[in-house]
Structure 1
């Protein structure tokens, strides 16, 4: 029997398309959709929000002839959504539920899909069909929905598995943000977040969905202290286990067109009485929710949700909710996030675009074949070209894929009316022998064309053709480190003009002059809530918001815009700032030297900074910009300055102090042994010092005296040369006063130089941290302090011990020679300077003192 009823469609949401219609196909693969057909004269034009309509089939069609029903845009071959239909000969009246056919973890229910429910009769009752059409129940379908905020919804279905509830969290998120939803502790009347049982969900930085059970003991991030856990931490962390307490079961996760949906299942009654809240479906309970950012660069197994911030109702909130109630308060599609991730490749002058093919993961215009085109390692990106700027493609997608640019959004050679702008059946190649294809868009090129495979359909995507811009306006351009930001510049005799363009969507974009963001001058561009662009100048001294200091630097020709979520900003500035005071006066650009530049991106920026403004993506290494030469290269970081510091520590922390201690305490070895140790150690120290200096000069390319470390280092270098020279010019002992003056000078100059050397070592570590953002600088500083204290303690102990022994022994008539802790008659420099030492041959056996030393008091 043919089903001739007119389907009654309700709760219909759809974003606007070009030529959208009701469509049927024999299967749900790409080739079946492409060979499908229109089933109704009804046109779907504009935006639909919770709409109700009736669909009348074309003459001669019946519902049992339709296997797959789709909302299809013929202009772009885009599938807006579809259901697979099957005939149910004895279906009961429609219910609020829906069938679940052959879907893992979603067992079948009894009701037909509400999409194809028969229309009500005139008296309001449902018609009693003997047969109807059923659709597969998908993991994105729920029975209930509540809008928590304009951009956050919670959906749920009870009893898919008895004793459980399936919850879906839906929001416009980036891959660095989270959604949190759960229940407040029963009986609490304020501060609902404290003691709440929530699930944190989202998409991680690798594109995988996540959901985990968390407990909130305080309004702070998790401290990850196993002995005293506190904050927003996983249940398992509070319990001290690695598994077993995560009561949220991940079922489905996706991020499509900027909208993230995560579906998870949790039991109504939980055995975890400490960190979970048991749910009563028929009882009204307080639900809490929040949205925020995940802590960046986390190396932990679990994720760290950061504070959600303000305001209430947008970033966080609470509501009274009864799970057993039937609620549908979600109307229309959610607005996509402007900061959602997307693939955009810009064809710049003088650069080549590498075209390859690989497996499809996130093709932007489904349905799609298994293999699609990649450009510059990005899957089917939007390619943006400029009129008048030549574009070079290196086609190496294989000999079975011929590349071309066409007006046909689907590709393939089937449409004879399609215009070909570049390429064709011969444009194919492999990595070893790529095919070079050149294309010059001109004013006759439409604003939108497509790159596709000449023989296969739907392998490529869109080409946006814009009027000439940055590549034409600036003399030089270069892709900065990591390939996420492009810098353009033009240099004059007094000024430099910059343009910075992100290669991915972001909330703000920043570049800075320096080896890292710390101790750098940064330029940050962002778009406010009203759509106005801003460019701010900052001096950054720390990684949190308190270390970001606005400056009064004056910029000219400022322009900031965001197109499809990608920020581009331009400005010009003098090479030497025209100012007399302020930190910005130090921001001088030397066009003849390499300018180090780094970049960062994040989700949002504002005038009143918080830790939420900290970047989520940052360049891994600086890029060296040669403004005058019109060139740039990624800096290949070598640990040259670290080697310099290591060698200086050997010289000033080991050789020089060791030689001084040998002269002071080792004269008991023999007459010449201590002197040899002293001379060898000091000579080695001088040699290592000069070698370390060469390493530093080779790294910075010149001698600079613009900081305390280099100035102290220069003083130490001159002083150690003078000290070494005076050591080799030591007068003989029989020169009397001259020898005495030399000994005093050599003694006190050496000790002063040691102290100055230790200070220089300390300032060197500090300078390394400020120059290269060395993360262990504090540890090294304290290590140097500890080493100096250890040396001082050792010398102090020996001196005090010797002083104590001398106080216990009687003095001889010839002086205060030591009888117990005896290290030699020449070790006391002050005694030697006052009383010249007699030669051993002039002493009688009876007056000769014992020269042996012992390390313990007698």
Structure 2
């Protein structure tokens, strides 16, 4: 049961203290938040904590400036930004913006639902904190589309400048320093790394999961279904080998995803379906260990064995269904976060694989039905011939030859 501990992860949520003081900076922002990363060029630090419905953010510059801006987007154009600036008398402000272009007239103030706003500037070093919902509860406004999905990498950019205004902006409000490229920040794991690196890890994770839930587990089910009429216990050994191999590879894939993302999280439908399927799969060898003994002769045993067999079969097949749904949701998630074209091709490939597998199962079911009919007909013939003595049986065969 030890691998199940990988599924438990806590999300402690520490709210920053509400304050508007411009005289006391908090030098220990990292202690107030669960995660922090140095953004591109290591001149701005981003801190954050997640809850079920909101995110608390904090940013701090490493050099003096009169304003600090943090944006969500691949570039300045079409990004959402939070700007903290100081006025001449030292008062610090924070506002949210939508940026539609690269000039000052393209910076539009928005009315986001920001709470627990803190803005501090000491010796020219600006830091600010905000709390906002992950999914804004509004419609019809540009800021309503500023949705943060913790399961996807968030592209973060930054800029600093000499002057900012809460009313009229001009070209003199442009930045003197900015990030060279967007930084993909993985909010759930607290990591900032290249998307390509994590994409490779998750691609391997997906391939291992396909091997388990698309090949090994279905193979184990088919061996138990169609090999029982073979010699010895080959069906049982095949069933065990394939199922245990599938579990091992599944846990290897889980470890890869955990290392890549820095933990296990339950925000996406992919993780929820995957969790259910894995828990059901893990329960199979456990209930197999406690299976009732098979009665030596028919009619002498209790119903416990029959009930167990039905439960074992149903649990295994439900687990397989959830696992296949998990494969599809995983590909969908991969496509949204990384490459939709590749993910779409993989989805169609998985659909083709399932259609081929279903065709094979239908063929095997047809052959199994034929085999059972032959056995039933043979047993009926034996029963009818059972009333003949040996001499009559020989005479019957000789009469057929004539």
Normalised-by-shorter TM-score class: 0.5 to 0.7
In 1, the alpha carbon distance for the partners of 2:182 and 2:381 equals 66
Partner residue, 2:155: 597
- RMSD across aligned positions (CA): 4.7
CA shift for structure 1 position 707: 1.1
Deviations 1:244-276 (A, max 9, x none): xxxxxxxxxxxxxxxxxxxxxxxxxxxxxxxxx
Q: Is the 8 A contact 1:511 1:597 kept in 2?
A: no
Do the aligned residues in 1 keep the contact of 2:247 with 2:282 (CA within 8 Å)? yes
SS at structure 2 position matched to 1:649: helix
8 Å Cα contact 2:186-2:261 kept in structure 1 = no
Equivalent in the alignment of 1:726: 287
* Alignment partners' CA distance in 2, 1:523 and 1:663: 59
| Aligned partner (choices 676, 690, 697) of residue 237 of structure 2 | 676
TM-score, normalised via structure 2 length: 0.55
Alpha-carbon distance, 1:780 to partner: 1.1
> Is 1:771 equivalent to 2:349 in the alignment?
no
Q: 2-side partners of 1:669 and 1:709: how far apart? A: 38
Match of 1:784 among 341, 350, 354: 350
Q: Would the aligned equivalents of 2:281 and 2:319 in 1 still touch at CA under 8 Å?
A: yes
Are 2:223 and 1:657 equivalent residues in the alignment? no
SS at match of 2:77: strand
Give the match's secondary structure for 1:756. Answer: helix
How many angstroms apart in 2 are the aligned matches of 1:763 and 1:720?
Answer: 18
2:101 is paired with a residue whose SS is strand
Alignment match, 1:532: 105
Following the alignment from structure 1 to structure 2, what is the Cα–Cα distance between the partners of residues 588 and 805?
A: 54
Q: CA deviation at 1:588?
A: 8.2
2:281 corresponds to 1:708? no
State whether structure 2 residue 313 is matched by structure 1 residue 753.
no
Distance in structure 1 (CA, Å) of the matches to 2:381 and 2:249 = 40
Structure 2 match to 1:800: 366
Counterparts in 2 of 1:488 and 1:682: CA distance versus 1, 3 Å: closer
**Aligned: 1:499 with 2:60:** no
The CA distance in 2 between the partners of 1:696 and 1:773, in whole Å, is 18
The runs of 5 or more residues in structure 2 that have no matched partner are 1-35, 50-55, 60-67, 82-96, 118-125, 139-143, 159-178, 296-300, 383-402
Distance of 2:135 and 2:333 partners within structure 1: 26
In the alignment, the residues of structure 1 paired with residue 37 and residue 246 of structure 2 have an alpha-carbon distance, to the nearest angstrom, of 48
Q: In the alignment, what sits opposite 2:77?
A: 509
* 1:595 to 1:810, Cα distance in 2 relative to 1, 3 A: closer
Distance change (3 Å), C-alpha of 1:588 and 1:717: closer
Q: Is the 8 A contact 1:477 1:487 kept in 2?
A: no
> Does 2:220 match 1:637?
no
Matched, 1:581 2:137: yes
Q: Is the Cα–Cα contact under 8 Å of residues 247 and 281 in structure 2 kept in the other structure?
A: yes
Aligned mates of 1:625, 1:577 — CA distance in 2: 17
Q: Secondary structure at the match of 1:509?
A: coil
- Going from structure 1 to structure 2, the CA distance change for 1:620 and 1:488 (only over 3 Å counts) comes to closer
Comparing both structures, which one devotes a greater share of its residues to strand?
1
Q: TM-score, normalised by structure 1?
A: 0.27
Deviation at 1:577, TM superposition (A): 3.6
Q: Report the counterpart of residue 248 of structure 1 in structure 2.
A: none
| Superposed CA offset, 1:734-758 (max 9, x none) | 1442222211111222122211211
1: distance between equivalents of 2:146 and 2:77?
Answer: 24
Aligned length: 272
Cα displacement string for residues 568-620 of structure 1 (whole angstroms, at most 9, x for unaligned residues): xx99883324986246585389xxxx9842569xxxxxxxxxxxxxxxxx988
Q: Deviations over 1:783-820 (max 9, x none)?
A: 1121122111111122124435666886245799xxxx
> 8 Å contact 1:553–1:577 — kept in the other structure?
no
Distance in 2 between the 1:477 and 1:743 partners?
52
Contact 2:220–2:242 under 8 Å retained in 1: yes
What is the SS of the residue equivalent to 1:694? helix
Relative contact order higher in (CA < 8 Å, ≥ 6 apart): 2
Alignment partners' CA distance in 2, 1:477 and 1:706: 22
Q: Could you tell me how far apart the structure 2 residues matched to 1:801 and 1:492 are?
A: 60
Shift of 1:669: 3.4
**What is the alpha-carbon distance in structure 1 between the residues aligned to residue 260 and residue 274 of structure 2?**
16
Is this contact kept in 1: 2:291–2:305, CA < 8 A? yes
User: Cα–Cα, structure 1 residues 778 and 804, in superposed 2: closer, same or farther, change >3 Å?
Assistant: same
Does structure 2 conserve the Cα–Cα contact (< 8 Å) formed by 1:526 and 1:535? no
Q: Residues 131-210 of structure 1: matches in 2 within 5 Å? A: none
Q: Offset of 1:678 from its aligned partner?
A: 0.7
Tell me how far apart the structure 2 counterparts of residues 815 and 749 of structure 1 sit (CA, whole Å). Answer: 38
Rg larger in 1 or in 2? 1
> How far is 1:719 from its partner?
0.7
Aligned to 2:93: none
Label 1:526 to 1:750 Cα distance change in 2 as closer, same or farther (>3 A): same
Q: Partners of 2:264 and 2:378 in 1: how far apart? A: 57
Gaps of 5+ in 1: 1-475, 514-521, 538-551, 558-569, 601-617, 817-858
1:646-696 C-alpha deviation (Å, 9 max, x unpaired): 111111111111111111112243121111111111111111111211111
Shift of 1:534: 1.9
Decide whether aligned partners of structure 1 residues 599 and 647 sit closer, same or farther in structure 2, where only a CA change above 3 A counts. Answer: same
What is the rounded CA distance, in whole Å, between the counterparts of 2:371 and 2:48 in structure 1? 76
SS of alignment partner, residue 377 of structure 2? coil
Contact 2:39-2:45 at 8 Å conserved across structures: no
Q: State the secondary structure of the residue aligned to 2:132.
A: coil
- Given that 1:645 and 1:692 are in contact with CA atoms closer than 8 Å, whether structure 2 keeps it comes out as yes
- 3-state SS of the aligned residue for 2:228? coil
